[in-house]
Structure 1
Amino acid sequence: MNLLGREDESAALDRLLDEVRAGFSRALVVTGEPGVGKTALLHRLTTRASDFRVIEICGVQSEMEIAFAALHQLCAPHLGRLEAIPTPQADALRITLGLREGKAPDRLLVGLGLLSLLAELGTERPLLCIVDDEHWLDHASAQLIAFVARRLDAESVGIVFGARGVGDELAGLPQLGLAPLDPTDAGALLDSMLAGRIDPRVREQLLVDTDGNPLAVVELARELTASRLSGGYGLPDAFAEKTGASAAFSRRIAALPDESRRLLVLAAVDPTGDPILLWNAAAVLGVPARSALAVSDAELVEFGARVRFRHPLVRSAAHRSATGLDLRNAHAALAAATNPATDPDRRAWHRAAAADGPDGRVAAELERSADRARARGGLAAAAAFLERAVILTPDVADRARRVLAAARAKLAAGAFEDAGALLDLVDGESYGEVELARARALRAQLAFAADRDARVPAMLLEAAEASGPLDPEFTRETMLDALRAAVYVGRLANPDADLSAVAAAAVSRTPTAPEPDDAAFGELAPILRTRAGRLPPFADVLVRVGHSASADDPRWLSLLAFAAAGLWNSPAWDRLTARYVEVCRDQGALSELRLALTARIYALLTSGRMPEAHACLEELAAALSATQSSLASYGAVAAEAFLGRRDAVGLAEVVVADARRRGEGLAITATSWAVALLHNGLGRYEDALEAAVTATAYSAEDLGLGNWGLVELVEAATRARAHDTAAEALERLRATTRGIDTDWARGIVARCAALLATDDDAERAFQEAIEHLDRGGLRPDAARARLLYGEWLRRERRPADARVQLRAAHEMLTTIGMAGFAERARLELRAAGERTRIHAPSRQGELTAQEAHIAQLARSGLSNPEIGTRLFISARTVEYHLGKIFSKLGIRSRSQLEDRLD
């Protein structure tokens, strides 16, 4: 099957098939205007893939608001293969498809399930998925299928989209654009469609009017008779108007008998293509079966096992040809013919489209459909159902509830503008105090999600205060949200609504609560219970709201992790960040996982577990890629700084610019601290001083990152001879540790105090610092304490003692991988009279970064599906990479990885 003028495009698609046959996976987006030949090219592709398993789905405009409608098309014939994919992923797909009940799964977990299912389908023979009219897919399905297309690698799966353009979902995927045919090819196509000769002037006019659109050429050629193609200086009056394919279809529809046109409109309104449903609905309208003959003869629709439109433009033209009454009647007939038990959501949607005014019963039906969509994770669909329910709701109280629910769903689905428009409806109604408070909270969450607006913490507190005792649970939830917002907005918050102010306000407005639950608080519970009165308000408010928090709530774990860092409690911080990541993985909360991994990276770096930190960085990079997130990773800046790499400075500048744009002050604190640490390691103390001043400019007594900035500030200032600055920073540091008896707090304060002490006081402080930091397992800080002690001993003209400390520091820092500080220790050792050999950094042979990460995960005992889940790839791709790893390392099994990996 050859297509005129599409030789290059056909060859590109043939190459795609060959690559998939060879075991690789490929995705391609075929774009072009309506009628330009996308569908014809995709049809040719399927005929060339006779050795493939082929799945074809098509977007339908009237089905765009039905949650996961396209996903149903894709998966329904293959549900028996779900048993072969990881259980959490299979369960996520089952819940999403409505096959079982359960908590709505994270969208990325559903995407991983779809990826695994398609990879499984590609094991027996190559798989080709054709997705035509992608621009008309429901939003949830479009996101999932695009996610899979980005994560394909070595599964023998090809996904080819047909779309009018490339939207956000398909951005970045390979594209094949279809331009109109050139005049020569368009003329050849026209000539091939005509039975006889045509006047050259008429032929030229036809080619000008169709502008190289092949479908327009074909459809007009079918309409033109010999008499209409006779000579003259122009086409007949009937063709003086636009002569595109859509206009040709409209003329053909207008020529149909009335009954046939009503049947066509009915078919256009029904997205399922189910002939039984169509004929049942036609019977409701009194349209006889014989009316299909004229539609078929006009080559508009095929009536067979499925009802298929000859081209999507036919469906659009049928919609345009119908009056409002025609469409309402068609929807009403389809609602009457749809089984309420097996397809309640589609029935509710048809009933809503048929309504000509407020209808409380239909609105309630839509609300139930929204609940079902939300339970499956179809947030955009839930919002659409609720938005329509709002229009049809006559009761004010019900409308208030539905407006807020629709706005919440729009917010969760990322439709910020629509959410704002719904909340504007609240201002024009007489709602109760609780509803108004909830609306305020939603406005705040909307502002935070859209731009990290610095006003958000105060807005959330106002909402909580307005609710007060009327809804205590909402009040506590809103307090937690306000604290989280204040943590991330940080220094960019309004002065009267920063973290300390928000926490203090929350303490004063939150009712006294029962004792907190140890299961939720873990190791922090006794500290917070007994010392809350002497700790910053942040800790106090955690005690007040924490009794009702779940130990498995990611939001709660994130706040506790911040508290642990602020309390210098390294063991609790380690356990809480590990639990935070674990809960996000178990729950499939992959969007929250990005924040959890970042927190975990810092905990691992401070304990010197560099390989684990880099594994988290790889997973974070995969998560950011999978979600198409453009967020710069300040965890990556910290890792580069720990390694002593100067490119951390450039990366930090990107992160800071992005953070200022989004209003995330925490990122500025984090990157400034990392840059200060980098420069201290490189001995660039003036630069370290500047960065440390920036890191500590915000009074962040409740946050670990701000406290760590004080540590770098003391060291940089003493080396830069800014002793007053160093002394002031030390006092601020002592204030953050007052009343806290942990090895981390005592060790870090002793190390900083030693830099400002003299003689015996300095030596005792250095020894105390080393003792506490060693006991706390804080290897980087302990190594730096030895380095500083050794430098002090050398200046005290005790070279033999200095070499002992510097040798230990150099060995520890080199082992950890802190190359900047290790080099500083080497130079000090040389100055103390000892030669040291520069240790080359460990390398992993020829392995790429991804291969090295997969190898490490495999060595740790994770299975291929578990590794795939971590990296957002399929188990088959993991298997493919392990094969390459084994070949490069010269081994045959996982058991040999231990010996070959550093």
Structure 2
Amino acid sequence: MGELIGRGDECRILDRLVDATRAGQSRALVLRGEPGVGKTALLDHLAERAVPGRVARTSGVQAEMELAYAGVHQLCLPFLDHLDRLPAPQRGALGTALGMTEGPAPDRFLVGLAVLNLFSDAASEEPLLCLIDDEQWLDRASAQVLAFVARRLGAESVALVFAARQPTDALAGLPSLVVRGLHGPDARALLDTVLTAPLDDRVRDQIVAETRGNPLALLEVPRAMTPEELAGGFGLPGAVGLSGDLESTFRSRVDVLSEHTRLLLLLAAAEPTGDPALMWRAAERLRIPPDAAAAAVEADLASFSTRVRFRHPLVRSAAYRSGSVHDRKRVHRALAEVTDGERDSDRRAWHLAHAASGPDEDIAVELERSAHRAQRRGGVGAAAAFLERAAALTIDRTKRVDRALAAASAKVEAGAFDVALDLLATTESDRLTDFQEAQADLVRARIAFVTNHGSDAPPLLLKAARRLESIDTNLCRATYIDAITAAMFAGRLSVGADSDEIARAAEQAPRPTGAPRLHDELLDWLIAFFTRDYTAAVPHLRRALAAVDSGVPADGQRRWAWLTTVAAIRGWDDERWHELSARYLDLVRGAGALSDTPLALNTHAFIMLFTGELTTAATLIDEQASVQEAIRSRIAPYAALGLAAMRGDRDTAVALSRTTVAEVTARGEGNGISVAMWATALLHNGFGDFRSALTAAREAIEPPVGLSSANWAFTELVEAAARLGEYEEADAALTQFVEISRASRTDWARGLEARCRALLSDNDVAETLYREAVDLLGRTRIRTDAARAHLLYGEWLRRQRRRGDAREQLRLAHDLFTAMGMRAFAERAGRELQAAGHTLPTKAPTAVGPKLTAQEEQVARLARDGLSNPEIGARLFISARTVQYHLSKVFTKLEINSRSQLEQVLP
């Protein structure tokens, strides 16, 4: 390949990318530009420059956009001999996605992690360059997986370079290089390379101007001009009718070919795999002679060798569009007949669908089967496309609606909300059954919940649940749980049905006929809570928690894991909270359900905060941030806010609180306001700013009841109000909390009740209550509340002038707060100690060593805890080679030489 005219700057950028991969680094780049501007030529330059090294290429094809993982399969095919080296969950996910093995639908991000490690392993032998052309036409699953890989590259000697006219949203934020038309001198130089006759200067200038320096246009336009036009006759340049539509230029070149050659090009355009044997078998059925290819090759439109290739994607598009509707159906029918129905049944069904002249139930059934296979591989976008086409080919009204609703549901899962609503609209002219109406309502509710997280979803879910009452009791009760949960999320920002209304409706719904299952017990708990009170709900809550251990299948446990953890929190059961949140995290990690991982990490991080294990919580929060960055999740920073409040990091906590309130308000998630205000109250109580704490706590407990944080805020309000002398308000909040404490009867709740009562009591009664609080909270995991009981007791003792006893309690509190990293509370305890006559030791200066980066510290801590490199990579969504790279830097900075020494050097 010769030097590209006018592309010196672009080639230098690409050359540096190749040099970086040879040096052990990784890179990602998006080439962006209009059709024909030279993106493919730059990819060709990269492929040539990468030698020696491995190059893998794939290209998006419009006809394959609905076939899940088609692009990933083509790119990974040369490296499948490395598949056995992947960790089992990743190996299973990728094998299932590519249709090589059977299994549950894999999480798309786990597939991405598998591809990342597959590329990393292949690059351990020599640098790997992956080139993806026409990314805008990749199937959705492949686009998302490859974008995931591009974002997680580190030190693997791998480069991913995409080329696209308009990159899809999946590539947003990746480094990009805009490829523009050639400048005047370079454009003229390129034009001169294809001229076969003299060219009038005015015509040359017009061609350059009207093509805007587009290289493909510069090469193609002269082919469409006669020597007289090129010479500038007939009053040129004004008479030269140059078209900016390159596809039309190619189409005009296709149209002048013989009928057999045009039909062969149409056939090749409709067969996206480029398999010449398959194409010629179909050509034989269409009676296209072998010599029909010669004219297409001579016209420089396509080549037919080891693989069928078009000169440019625009040629493929022109060849397909130039065919009549009748010829397109003939071509797809021939391709369907020669496609192996066993090994490639999905592509065969797709060809049959395009060949159909009208409704065809047999083809619709085939498409349904393809949709089910796609769903098993995790290709929800492909499943939706198959079902949408199946609905279009169905004449039976009931079946058509069923397929359209199934397609709409799949479109929601794929994130195509507008298309889902369009599909629902196609069913509105039909008379739907109650079950179909309920399905439509569920689809609309899912769209509302995902896009607005609560505000519109509860009434839609309530409507669906009511329709399901006489149809499917199990689905009805599960839908009522979803409706109540959505209303709880919406909380004070709800604009439709609230939790109380939904719970009353659920109470009237049919009961399960057999033994109650886990979700039945959860629903009974929610009904009792919202229709009666906390005390009435506690027996149901305990039965729900007991049901978790009664042989519930793993998928059922994962489906309800978050809600069962919330039940433990609402029951003030710290042991079950710890156990169930850890189980929840294990379940999603074990299943590779990366989409559920941020919520699971957030849930487990909170119990770590309350138990005072702030370093562990910080590790989980960092991991959550890595996951959210990798999968572009949008959970508000609840645990990070709680951590900043516990640590007494005022600036961070205040900033996160503002961010959280703005974010959740925008999407209608009122419960998030309660979380933010609880954390703000906790922060200010730590600093002894009781007026600010009281203001925040009041807002936190504003009805309707939140999921959990409103409960926590009662005790913050009592402390702040009592210290300000607002005894009436403190007593009212305590009365509400007493109902919780007396019903739950846990040491945690009873200890907090005693602590709050002590704040509102005098003399011997107060001391008895403080001692009770210290004793009860000392039996729990909740060290933060236990330390605060010692602090409040010590502060009370100092005010009673019992300085010796006060110092004992305050020293205990100070030591606990210091060990946990609760700086604001530690300083508050320190001030009280000094007031009680105790001098705190001066801190020895801390040795300052080389600072680890955030990711180095994450890797180091996980390695210290005994995780292997592949396990660390799976947690942080990086390759095992990048883990090793970070560890080598950690060892150098900390001046150690083994993982076993990390325990000594990390705090």
What range is the shorter-chain TM-score in? over 0.9
| Partner SS state of residue 160, structure 1 | strand
Q: Please show how residues 614-763 of structure 1 align to structure 2 within 5 Å.
A: 614-646=618-650, 647-700=652-705, 703-763=707-767
Q: State the 1:236 CA deviation.
A: 8.9
2:76 is the alignment partner of 1:72: no
What is residue 856 of structure 2 aligned with on the other side?
851
What's the CA shift for 1:453?
Answer: 3.7
Distance 1:114 1:538, change over 3 A: farther
- Give the C-alpha shift of residue 265 in structure 1: 0.9
SS where residue 171 of structure 2 aligns? coil
The corresponding residue for 1:443 is: 444
- For the residue of structure 2 that corresponds to 1:738, the secondary structure is helix
The partner residue of 1:590 within 585, 591, 594 is: 594
Aligned-residue offset at 1:496: 5.0
Contact 1:130 1:161 in 2 (8 A): yes
Are the equivalent residues in 1 in contact too, given 2:646–2:683 (CA < 8 A)? yes
1:370-769 aligned within 5 A: 370-494=371-495, 496-498=497-499, 500-511=500-511, 534-535=536-537, 539=541, 542=544, 550=553, 552=555, 553-646=557-650, 647-700=652-705, 703-769=707-773
How far apart, in 1, do the equivalents of 2:181 and 2:197 lie? 25
Q: What residue number does 1:368 align with? A: 369
Letter in 2 for 1:275: P
User: What CA distance in whole angstroms lies between the structure 1 residues aligned with 2:541 and 2:428?
Assistant: 36
The equivalent of 1:52 in structure 2 is 53
The letter for the 2-side match of 1:33 is E
- State which drifts further: 163-172 or 421-430: 421-430
TM-score normalised by length of structure 2: 0.95
In 2: Cα distance, 1:360 partner to 1:822 partner: 73
Post-superposition CA distance 1:1-43 (Å, at most 9, x none): 3211111110000000011100000000011000111001110
**Aligned-residue offset at 1:837:** 3.7
Quote the offset at 1:383 in angstroms: 0.3
Amino acid at match of 2:741: T
Q: Residue 873 of structure 1: which of 872, 878, 903 is its match?
A: 878
Question: Which amino acid letter does the alignment assign opposite residue 327 of structure 2?
Answer: D
CA distance in 2 between partners of 1:850 and 1:228 (Å): 64
Cα distance in 1 for partners of 2:519, 2:37 equals 62
The amino acid that maps onto 1:368 is R
Q: Which moved more, 1:832-841 or 1:850-859?
A: 832-841
> Is the CA contact (8 Å cut-off) linking 1:209 and 1:244 kept in structure 2?
no
- For 1:228, the equivalent position in structure 2 comes to 229
1:144–1:285: structure 2 CA closer, same or farther, 3 Å change rule? same
Task: Determine which of 883, 893, 906 is the counterpart of 1:901.
Answer: 906
- Report the counterpart of residue 167 of structure 2 in structure 1: 166
Return the TM-score normalized by structure 1.
0.95
Aligned-residue RMSD, C-alpha:
2.5
Offset at 1:321? 1.5
SS at match of 1:193: coil
Separation in 2 of the partners of 1:377 and 1:330? 30
SS of the residue 2:426 aligns to: helix
Who is 1:216 aligned against? Answer: 217
Q: How big is the shift at 1:532?
A: 9.2
Aligned match for 1:807, one of 811, 816, 822: 811
Letter of the 1:563 counterpart = A
The 1:744/1:508 distance shift into structure 2, 3 A limit, reads farther
Per-residue deviation, residues 345-372 of structure 1 (Å, max 9, x unmatched):
0111111111121111111110000000
Q: Distance in 1 between matches of 2:93 and 2:821?
A: 40
Secondary structure of the corresponding residue to residue 427 of structure 1: coil
Tell me the SS of whatever aligns to 2:169: coil
Question: In structure 2, how many angstroms separate the alpha carbons of the residues matched to 1:425 and 1:193?
Answer: 52
1:736-761 CA distance string (max 9 Å, x none):
22322211011111111111111111
**8 Å CA contact 2:521, 2:544 repeated in 1:** no
Matched residue type, 2:122: L
Equivalent residues of 1:193, 1:218 under 8 A apart: yes
CA contact (8 A) 1:133 1:163 kept: yes
CA positional deviation for 1:512: 5.3
- Which digits, 9 at most, give the CA deviation of each residue in 1:839-895, with x for residues without a partner? 588988521121111111111111100000000111110010010111111111111
Change over 3 Å in CA distance of 1:357–1:419 after alignment to 2: same
**Structure 2 CA distance, aligned partners of 1:42 and 1:231?**
36
Q: Deviations over 1:61-90 (max 9, x none)?
A: 111111111011111222111011111101
Against the structure 1 CA distance between its residues 514 and 795, is the aligned structure 2 distance closer, same or farther, given a 3 Å change threshold?
Answer: farther
Distance 2:849 2:434 in 1: 62
Distance 1:156 1:518 in 2: 48
Cα pair distance change 1:421/1:538, threshold 3 Å: farther
Q: CA deviation at 1:256?
A: 0.6
Distance change >3 Å, CA 291–CA 148, structure 1 → 2:
same
Deviations 1:718-742 (A, max 9, x none): 1222222111111111122232221
Q: Specify whether residues 606 and 515 from structure 1 end up closer, same or farther in structure 2 by C-alpha distance, changes over 3 A only.
A: farther
| Residue range with higher mean Cα deviation, 468-477 or 590-599 | 468-477
8 Å contact 1:510–1:544 — kept in the other structure?
A: no
> Which amino acid in 2 is paired with 1:506?
A
> Greater shift after overlay, 466-475 or 405-414?
466-475
Note if contact 2:638-2:676 (Cα within 8 Å) is conserved in structure 1. Answer: yes
Aligned pair count reads: 896
Amino acid at match of 1:862: L
Task: Find the aligned partners of 1:191 and 1:411 in 2 and give their Cα distance.
Answer: 52
SS of equivalent residue, structure 2 residue 744: coil
d(CA) in 1 for partners of 2:235, 2:276: 43
2:121 maps to what in 1? Answer: 120
CA contact (8 A) 2:554 2:587 kept: no
Kept after mapping to 2: 8 A contact 1:554/1:584: yes
Task: Give the distance between the partners of 1:555 and 1:589, measured in 2 at CA.
Answer: 11
Instruction: Identify the range of structure 1 (125-134 vs 213-222) with the bigger mean alpha-carbon deviation.
Output: 213-222
Identical-residue share of aligned pairs (%): 48
Note closer, same or farther for the CA distance 1:858–1:321 as it changes in structure 2 (3 Å cut): same
Deviating more after overlay: 120-129 vs 627-636: 627-636
Q: Distance in 2 between matches of 1:257 and 1:514?
A: 71
SS state of the match for residue 865, structure 1? helix
Provide the C-alpha distance between the structure 2 equivalents of 1:548 and 1:514, rounded to a whole number of angstroms.
16
Q: What is the correspondence of 1:225-374 to structure 2 with a 5 Å cutoff?
A: 226-232=227-233, 234-235=235-236, 239-242=240-243, 244-374=245-375
AA matched with 1:439:
A
Q: Between 214-223 and 853-862, report the one with greater CA deviation.
A: 214-223
Deviation digits for residues 298-318 of structure 1 (CA, Å, limit 9, x no counterpart): 000010000000111111111
Separation (CA, whole Å) in 1 of partners of 2:773 and 2:708:
19
2:507 alignment partner AA: V
Cα drift, residue 504 of structure 1: 4.4
- CA change 1:741–1:510 in 2 (3 A) is farther
Q: Does structure 2 conserve the Cα–Cα contact (< 8 Å) formed by 1:441 and 1:460? A: yes
Quick one: distance in 2 between partners of 1:861 and 1:519? 36
Contact 1:92/1:105 (<8 A) preserved: yes
Unaligned runs of 5+ in 1: none
Q: Please say if residues 750 and 769 of structure 1, whose CA atoms lie closer than 8 Å, have aligned partners that are also in contact.
A: yes
CA distance in 2, matches of 1:841, 1:535: 52
Q: Supply the AA of the counterpart residue of 2:600.
A: A
State the distance in 2 between where 1:59 and 1:14 align. 24
Structure-2 separation of matches of 1:332 and 1:518? 51
Describe the superposition over 1:553-579 as per-residue Cα deviations: whole angstroms up to 9, x where unpaired. Answer: 323111111111011000000001000
Deviation of 1:49 after TM superposition, in Å, equals 0.8
CA deviation after TM superposition for structure 1 residue 717, in Å = 1.2
Give the direction of change, closer, same or farther, for the CA distance of 1:856–1:795 in structure 2 (3 Å limit): same
Q: CA deviation at 1:193?
A: 2.4
Maintained 8 Å contact 2:462/2:480: yes
Quote how far apart the aligned CAs of 1:244 are: 5.0
